[in-house]
Amino acid sequence: QLPTGLYKKVLVILHDSILPYMNEPTLMIDFLTVAYGIGGAISLLALNGLFILIHEHNLEYPDFYKKLYSLLDPSIYHVKYRARFFHLLDLFLSSSHLPAYLVAAFIKRLSRLALTAPPEALLMVIPFICNLFRRHPVCKVLVHRPNGPEDMSEDPYVMEEEEPSESRALESSLWEIQSLQNHYHPDVAKAAAVLNQSLSEIEDDISALLELSAYELFDKEVKKKAVDVPLEFEQVRGLFGKKNDIFAEHFTLD
């Protein structure tokens, strides 16, 4: 049993400062799998090391995607390691051989969690979801479902289900993204409206969006040049603005 702080310190540097210099990196399998099962930020940090062991040392992890799916909770849009997590999530979901139900479950869960996400996270996750549609066109049924439920309480998707195959995501629709088209931030509404059109075949580059912060969004808005909008108005005459008012004869606004 290691202290939480020590787990984080080790896992942050494990993938680039420890594993490359070990003669047998597979010795870290038990440590990483245990860390991956702890949950929260520790699980997110363990993903880096597991990625190396899976891709370079043939580690087999039968319930890997089930555990990855369970890591998707409201905190993923707010944690310090958000950029690292979504970079790895993008890699793990890049294979075209993944079953449609699995990808649909990830799309649906990310969309549901997006309803409470901050704007800077939304501007990253919406292109992320669009890229998943490009890789797995069969999942586009979530967008183009003509007979979707009119009442959102009838959504067949089961958010509480831990097993992606049992979540019924492919039977659902992306009403969450449609609701984001009315978001208060205009950039988010514009990004969500992309799903109303045919997606291009070229994937969006989300690397620059992974580190996007609220400060950068605010700074961008502040630096926008104000546009002078011409308005038609009637010049005020007198104290109360009426043309033939008795006050206009005895009071002026000078």
How confident is the prediction for the chain on average, in pLDDT? 83
Residue 187, in any domain of the structure: yes
**Does 241 fall in a domain?**
no
Decide if 201 is inside a domain: yes
**Where are the alpha helices (H) located in 136-239, listed in sequence order?**
175-180, 186-192, 214-222
CA gap 4, 90 in Å, rounded: 26
Is the four-CA dihedral 244, 249, 253, 254 of positive or negative sign? positive
Q: pLDDT tens digits for 111-126? A: 999 999 999 999 999 9
Q: Is residue 19 part of a domain?
A: no
Q: What is the pLDDT of residues 78-88, one digit of tens each?
A: 888 888 888 88
Asked whether residue 180 is domain-assigned, the answer is: yes
Greatest CA span in the chain, whole angstroms?
97
What is the arithmetic mean of pLDDT over 56-62? Answer: 77
pLDDT at residue number 11:
84
pLDDT for the residue 78: 86
Number of domains composing the chain: 1
What's the domain range around 205? 98-222
Nearest one of 73, 202, 65 to 127, comparing CA atoms = 202
Angle, helices 82-92/119-135, rounded to nearest 10 degrees: 10
pLDDT for res 128: 93
Residue 155 forms part of a structural domain = yes
Predicted TM-score (pTM) of the model is: 0.75
Name which of 73, 21, 95, 76 is nearest 52 in CA terms: 21
State yes or no: pLDDT of 52 exceeds 70. Answer: yes
Q: Is there a domain that residue 176 lies in?
A: yes
DSSP, collapsed to helix, strand or coil, labels residue 236 as coil
Distance CA 68, CA 131 (A): 18
Query: Which whole number is the average pLDDT over 131-143?
Result: 89
In a domain, 108, yes or no: yes
